[in-house]
Amino acid sequence: MVDMPEGHKGDGFFATKLSDAVGLARKNSMWPLPFATSCCGIEFMATMASHYDLARFGAERLGFSPRQCDLLMVMGTIAKKMGPILKSVYLQMAEPRWVMAVGACASSGGIFDSYSVLQGIDQIIPVDVYVPGCPPRPEGILDGFMRIQDLVGEESFRRRNGEQYRELMQSYGIK
Protein backbone atom coordinates (compact mmCIF):
# COMPACT_ATOMS: atom_id res chain seq x y z
CA MET A 1 0.00 0.00 0.00
CA VAL A 2 1.27 3.47 -0.86
CA ASP A 3 1.52 5.99 1.96
CA MET A 4 -0.79 8.95 1.50
CA PRO A 5 0.95 12.33 1.33
CA GLU A 6 0.32 14.97 3.97
CA GLY A 7 -2.95 16.81 3.36
CA HIS A 8 -6.53 17.49 4.35
CA LYS A 9 -9.13 14.75 4.25
CA GLY A 10 -12.90 15.00 4.37
CA ASP A 11 -16.01 13.21 3.13
CA GLY A 12 -15.31 12.39 -0.50
CA PHE A 13 -12.20 14.57 -0.96
CA PHE A 14 -8.52 14.77 -0.24
CA ALA A 15 -6.38 17.88 -0.75
CA THR A 16 -2.58 18.04 -0.76
CA LYS A 17 0.24 20.00 -2.34
CA LEU A 18 0.71 19.46 -6.08
CA SER A 19 4.41 18.66 -5.58
CA ASP A 20 3.50 15.85 -3.14
CA ALA A 21 0.96 14.36 -5.55
CA VAL A 22 3.39 14.52 -8.48
CA GLY A 23 6.21 13.06 -6.35
CA LEU A 24 3.97 10.16 -5.32
CA ALA A 25 3.01 9.49 -8.95
CA ARG A 26 6.60 9.72 -10.21
CA LYS A 27 8.10 7.48 -7.56
CA ASN A 28 5.54 4.74 -8.19
CA SER A 29 5.74 4.77 -11.98
CA MET A 30 9.45 4.69 -12.82
CA TRP A 31 10.47 3.64 -16.33
CA PRO A 32 13.95 2.13 -16.07
CA LEU A 33 16.40 1.94 -18.97
CA PRO A 34 18.78 -0.99 -18.35
CA PHE A 35 22.29 -0.41 -19.70
CA ALA A 36 23.74 -3.84 -18.91
CA THR A 37 27.11 -5.00 -20.19
CA SER A 38 28.09 -7.98 -18.03
CA CYS A 39 27.25 -10.17 -15.04
CA CYS A 40 25.31 -7.44 -13.20
CA GLY A 41 22.85 -7.59 -16.09
CA ILE A 42 22.17 -11.24 -15.28
CA GLU A 43 21.39 -10.31 -11.67
CA PHE A 44 19.08 -7.58 -12.97
CA MET A 45 17.24 -10.21 -15.04
CA ALA A 46 16.71 -12.17 -11.82
CA THR A 47 15.42 -8.99 -10.18
CA MET A 48 12.84 -8.57 -12.93
CA ALA A 49 11.75 -12.22 -12.74
CA SER A 50 8.83 -13.45 -10.67
CA HIS A 51 10.73 -14.30 -7.48
CA TYR A 52 11.91 -10.72 -6.81
CA ASP A 53 9.58 -8.87 -9.24
CA LEU A 54 10.67 -5.26 -9.67
CA ALA A 55 7.18 -4.58 -11.06
CA ARG A 56 5.85 -4.57 -7.48
CA PHE A 57 7.57 -1.21 -7.08
CA GLY A 58 5.99 0.45 -10.11
CA ALA A 59 8.67 -0.42 -12.66
CA GLU A 60 6.54 -2.72 -14.78
CA ARG A 61 7.69 -1.31 -18.08
CA LEU A 62 11.35 -1.50 -19.02
CA GLY A 63 12.16 0.98 -21.74
CA PHE A 64 14.86 0.68 -24.34
CA SER A 65 14.41 4.16 -25.75
CA PRO A 66 16.10 6.84 -23.64
CA ARG A 67 13.50 9.43 -24.62
CA GLN A 68 10.79 7.51 -22.76
CA CYS A 69 12.70 6.54 -19.61
CA ASP A 70 13.52 8.41 -16.43
CA LEU A 71 15.90 6.00 -14.65
CA LEU A 72 19.18 4.92 -16.22
CA MET A 73 20.43 1.71 -14.58
CA VAL A 74 24.07 1.18 -15.57
CA MET A 75 25.16 -2.38 -14.82
CA GLY A 76 28.55 -3.89 -15.47
CA THR A 77 31.93 -2.95 -16.88
CA ILE A 78 31.99 0.22 -18.96
CA ALA A 79 34.93 0.50 -21.32
CA LYS A 80 36.31 3.98 -21.97
CA LYS A 81 35.19 3.66 -25.60
CA MET A 82 31.65 3.11 -24.31
CA GLY A 83 31.75 6.31 -22.20
CA PRO A 84 30.63 8.74 -24.94
CA ILE A 85 27.78 6.39 -25.89
CA LEU A 86 26.63 6.18 -22.27
CA LYS A 87 26.75 9.97 -21.97
CA SER A 88 24.77 10.28 -25.22
CA VAL A 89 22.08 7.94 -23.87
CA TYR A 90 21.96 9.99 -20.66
CA LEU A 91 21.58 13.26 -22.58
CA GLN A 92 18.73 11.83 -24.69
CA MET A 93 16.68 11.16 -21.56
CA ALA A 94 14.12 13.81 -20.64
CA GLU A 95 14.33 15.70 -17.37
CA PRO A 96 13.84 14.75 -14.63
CA ARG A 97 16.18 11.78 -14.92
CA TRP A 98 17.99 9.66 -12.37
CA VAL A 99 20.99 7.31 -12.57
CA MET A 100 21.77 4.17 -10.62
CA ALA A 101 25.23 2.56 -10.82
CA VAL A 102 24.77 -1.16 -10.21
CA GLY A 103 27.76 -3.23 -9.14
CA ALA A 104 31.41 -2.60 -8.46
CA CYS A 105 32.34 -2.14 -12.14
CA ALA A 106 29.84 0.64 -12.84
CA SER A 107 30.60 2.27 -9.49
CA SER A 108 34.40 2.13 -9.46
CA GLY A 109 35.73 -0.02 -12.29
CA GLY A 110 35.65 -3.12 -10.08
CA ILE A 111 38.60 -5.49 -10.36
CA PHE A 112 39.46 -4.10 -13.79
CA ASP A 113 42.07 -1.46 -12.99
CA SER A 114 43.24 -1.12 -16.57
CA TYR A 115 43.70 1.57 -19.19
CA SER A 116 40.57 0.54 -21.09
CA VAL A 117 38.00 0.45 -18.27
CA LEU A 118 36.23 3.52 -16.96
CA GLN A 119 36.87 3.72 -13.22
CA GLY A 120 33.29 4.59 -12.32
CA ILE A 121 30.56 6.11 -14.46
CA ASP A 122 30.50 9.16 -12.21
CA GLN A 123 33.45 10.39 -14.26
CA ILE A 124 31.10 11.12 -17.18
CA ILE A 125 27.54 11.39 -15.78
CA PRO A 126 26.14 12.21 -12.32
CA VAL A 127 25.05 9.21 -10.27
CA ASP A 128 22.22 9.32 -7.72
CA VAL A 129 22.52 5.85 -6.12
CA TYR A 130 25.33 3.30 -6.02
CA VAL A 131 24.53 -0.40 -5.52
CA PRO A 132 27.58 -2.31 -4.17
CA GLY A 133 28.49 -5.89 -4.99
CA CYS A 134 30.22 -8.01 -7.57
CA PRO A 135 27.66 -8.82 -8.80
CA PRO A 136 25.06 -7.38 -6.43
CA ARG A 137 22.29 -9.66 -5.26
CA PRO A 138 18.75 -8.92 -6.49
CA GLU A 139 17.93 -7.70 -2.97
CA GLY A 140 20.65 -5.06 -3.34
CA ILE A 141 19.25 -3.91 -6.67
CA LEU A 142 15.78 -3.68 -5.10
CA ASP A 143 17.22 -1.65 -2.22
CA GLY A 144 18.92 0.70 -4.67
CA PHE A 145 15.67 1.08 -6.58
CA MET A 146 13.79 1.92 -3.38
CA ARG A 147 16.42 4.56 -2.57
CA ILE A 148 15.86 6.08 -6.01
CA GLN A 149 12.12 6.08 -5.29
CA ASP A 150 12.77 7.97 -2.04
CA LEU A 151 14.81 10.58 -3.94
CA VAL A 152 12.13 10.93 -6.61
CA GLY A 153 9.32 11.29 -4.08
CA GLU A 154 11.14 14.00 -2.09
CA GLU A 155 12.49 16.05 -5.00
CA SER A 156 10.98 19.48 -5.47
CA PHE A 157 9.95 20.83 -8.86
CA ARG A 158 12.47 23.62 -8.66
CA ARG A 159 15.62 21.62 -7.82
CA ARG A 160 16.46 20.97 -11.45
CA ASN A 161 16.17 24.70 -12.22
CA GLY A 162 18.45 25.70 -9.34
CA GLU A 163 21.96 27.07 -9.52
CA GLN A 164 23.46 24.08 -7.68
CA TYR A 165 22.01 21.64 -10.24
CA ARG A 166 23.25 23.81 -13.13
CA GLU A 167 26.75 23.82 -11.63
CA LEU A 168 26.66 20.03 -11.24
CA MET A 169 25.70 19.58 -14.89
CA GLN A 170 28.40 22.02 -16.02
CA SER A 171 31.01 20.08 -14.04
CA TYR A 172 30.17 17.12 -16.31
CA GLY A 173 30.25 19.27 -19.44
CA ILE A 174 26.45 19.15 -19.80
CA LYS A 175 24.61 22.37 -20.58
Q: Answer whether residue 85 is part of any domain.
A: yes
pLDDT at residue 34 in the model: 94
Q: Answer whether residue 11 is part of any domain.
A: no
How many domains does one find in the chain?
Answer: 1
pLDDT at residue 21 in the model: 85
User: SS3 for 98-164, per residue?
Assistant: EEEEEHHHHHHCCCCCCCCECCCHHHCCCCCEEECCCCCCHHHHHHHHHHHHHHHHHCCCCHHHCHH
Q: Answer whether residue 13 is part of any domain.
A: no
Q: Answer whether residue 43 is part of any domain.
A: yes
Residues of 2-19 as b/e, b for ≥16 C-beta within 10 angstroms?
eeeeeeeeeeeeeeeeee
Q: Answer whether residue 3 is part of any domain.
A: no
pLDDT at residue 1 in the model: 59
Q: Answer whether residue 160 is part of any domain.
A: yes
Cis previous bond, 135, omega within 30: yes
CB 36 within 8 A of CB 75: yes
One digit per residue, pLDDT tens: the chain, 175 residues? Answer: 567 777 888 888 888 888 888 888 888 899 999 999 988 889 999 998 889 888 888 888 888 999 999 999 999 999 999 999 999 999 999 889 999 999 999 999 989 999 999 999 999 999 999 999 998 999 999 999 999 999 998 888 777 888 888 899 899 988 7
Q: Answer whether residue 18 is part of any domain.
A: no
Is 79 exposed, middle or buried, given 0-12, 13-18 or 19+ CB atoms closer than 10 A? Answer: middle
The closest alpha carbon to 30, from 74, 63, 71, 91, belongs to 71
Q: Answer whether residue 23 is part of any domain.
A: no
CATH assignment at residue 109? 3.40.50.12280
Domain that holds residue 47: 28-139+147-171
pLDDT at residue 149 in the model: 93
